[in-house]
Structure 1
């Protein structure tokens, strides 16, 4: 006897639990499935935020804009992104990602784009001042709230009586208002002199009302509802190796509604911290500490070729040598059991490695070194961009 699964079960129970890569193929089954997968709002919301696939496909994943590649701990979930026609060159104009949406500036810098690279849905914002420092705050689950773009702009240098400081103002674009405005309450915000190169840092939106930027030794935040800004000192104590000036790496990400901060210590440890906030009061809490030296010793077969290419031999100072020569960088942490980090080779190729905290498995993701930084934490979604 032949058995047949009812179409209702397929649509309501099976399809929403499939990974996005599989759904791409199933668009070809019929026009009905194409319509459902591409346009049905209830299906998209269910798939992106409720089904078991949400955990499987987004824990964790990253987007390499220059390599036009998505990848995660799931080997099956690595695929190329066919970039939109309005992006040219090597995609230097991608600024970051928020809640599964990629944003940046179009050629000529007169327009800002917000794009869902999975569905190709794109919206545009005028950029009359050719602004290059952007942060996107939006929630595709609730399109009615629209989106907000925040742009910190350098005004001048001042002396506060003790030190030289840089003075910034904030410009804000609201899709509800449809225009740019200057922030009133944080129109002249001061930060330590030359502690920030905004173009080199990815901004982070945690899903609440603040956006954040990494300032090397500080975290700058801006409240998009109250138009106030603040500065939080990183949990340094002089023990961290700071990122170099190549602009290829970010330190901060989003983890369970909080800002995560990934760093290397001078003795070769990877530390993950969370910035806990309540009523504009902030406190750092350590989430993970991973001894890189122990991992390397136990998994030397995974990293031996990389280290030998850097003239670093197996021994007690491998992790320290990698850290202090700026060859190893932890990636922003987005939660889950896996930590990610890069090792930069002498020919400027970047090897991406993942370490599972539970199983202690160290894995080399790209043998050929084709994944280019910057790498942005990414949450695939089938929901359209808010407007």
Structure 2
């Protein structure tokens, strides 16, 4: 007690330590309140890309779900984890997004941006039946949309890259182009930048042995796009304009379906559907080697009602999300397989969509952190 007042004596903490080492470790709910402390903290939590990257690295609570297209539009499937933060995305905003438009493809979702393939009737008076088809980037948080001209290549080979901690204020679309050159494949890349608002062909090309490019199997991790081209994973770095490929995990029997993914820590994963509805999961080590994480036996014994089990990209923890299909009942559901207990839990039945379409993983918390960051588009 000094002069009738309590005084706390201690070393002052550097501002950078508070901003980038202490605050990023707090739950998003607490940070939402701290934004009212001062303008600097408001900017830090809402707009600072370095802060967003540090927060995502320190294990903030995870709330996520999947988005998919169906005959009437777009559906969200929330995955609620008891005891953890569950940020929700209002589906009502998509009514204005699809006003007068038809969604023909849910292509990609990265850090709060959703890439769609849309159609609308042409404005040309001479041909009222003409249809315009174009890409459309939608920001979940700001509810802003951007029209991107369609290129001439299959839209399911297009990926979306947006990481404000690496490429500030800019997103890019990348298309994988395939041409046969004898017994080999020549792979090249066409890139659209929101800064230039143009498609440009990269000078980088790959010549690899004949491969099979899987429809829909594209994935973005940071600044790098991946395509599963059995038996390879082809990658393209949009910042360095560098491309390459690596072998996928090798097994004696190749399964009919293979999906790439990544954990919340950015570790590349590989999941393959094996004969008899078995599945195997690998993760990539720091040395670039594939390490087998799990082997799941015949899943038909878990749920005999369904004939086909399609793995979704593995995103970590002990859960694998699976689409289960019943051809006899024209039914498809999203389910979760607990690799520890071997229990299969049905999360939701898919509405208005047959045959199966592409699912996209969305991290609600990451969307809340990064989705409001500015992007360049005129």
Out of 182, 195, 218, the residue aligned to residue 201 of structure 2 is 182
Q: Distance in 2 between matches of 1:45 and 1:290?
A: 42
Gaps of 5+ in 2: 1-25, 120-130
**Aligned match of 1:283:** 289
- Cα gap change, 1:274 to 1:15, in 2 (>3 Å): closer
Q: Distance in 2 between matches of 1:15 and 1:221?
A: 34
SS at match of 1:215: strand
SS at match of 1:125: strand
Q: Distance in 2 between matches of 1:65 and 1:368?
A: 10
User: What do the CA deviations read for 1:337-369 (whole angstroms, capped 9, x no partner)?
Assistant: 321112211144212210223454421112576
**Aligned match of 1:220:** 234
TM-score using structure 2 length: 0.68
Q: Is contact 1:48-1:54 (8 Å) kept?
A: no
Residues 1:112 and 2:135 aligned together? yes
SS at match of 1:196: strand
Q: Which aligned pairs between 1:63-102 and structure 2 lie closer than 5 A?
A: 63-66=67-70, 68-74=74-80, 81-82=91-92, 83=94, 84-85=97-98, 88-89=101-102, 91-102=103-114
Out of 336, 342, 354, the residue aligned to residue 336 of structure 2 is 354
Deviation (angstroms), 1:130: 6.8
**Aligned match of 1:377:** 361
Q: CA RMSD in A?
A: 3.9
TM-score using structure 1 length: 0.67
Q: Distance in 2 between matches of 1:261 and 1:87?
A: 38
SS at match of 1:17: helix
Q: Is contact 1:217-1:234 (8 Å) kept?
A: yes
Higher mean Cα deviation, 123-132 or 143-152? 123-132
Q: Distance in 1 between matches of 2:196 and 2:342?
A: 50
Number of corresponding residues: 314
Deviation (angstroms), 1:131: 6.4
**Aligned match of 1:203:** 218
Q: Distance in 1 between matches of 2:309 and 2:154?
A: 31
Residues 1:366 and 2:348 aligned together? yes
Q: Is contact 1:349-1:370 (8 Å) kept?
A: no
Residues 1:237 and 2:251 aligned together? yes
User: What do the CA deviations read for 1:148-185 (whole angstroms, capped 9, x no partner)?
Assistant: 2211223x4222xxxx2332321122334443322123
**Aligned match of 2:259:** 251
> Which protein is richer in strand relative to its size?
2
Gaps of 5+ in 1: 1-13, 24-32, 244-249, 308-321
SS at match of 1:332: coil
- Cα gap change, 1:77 to 1:362, in 2 (>3 Å): farther
**Aligned match of 1:138:** 162
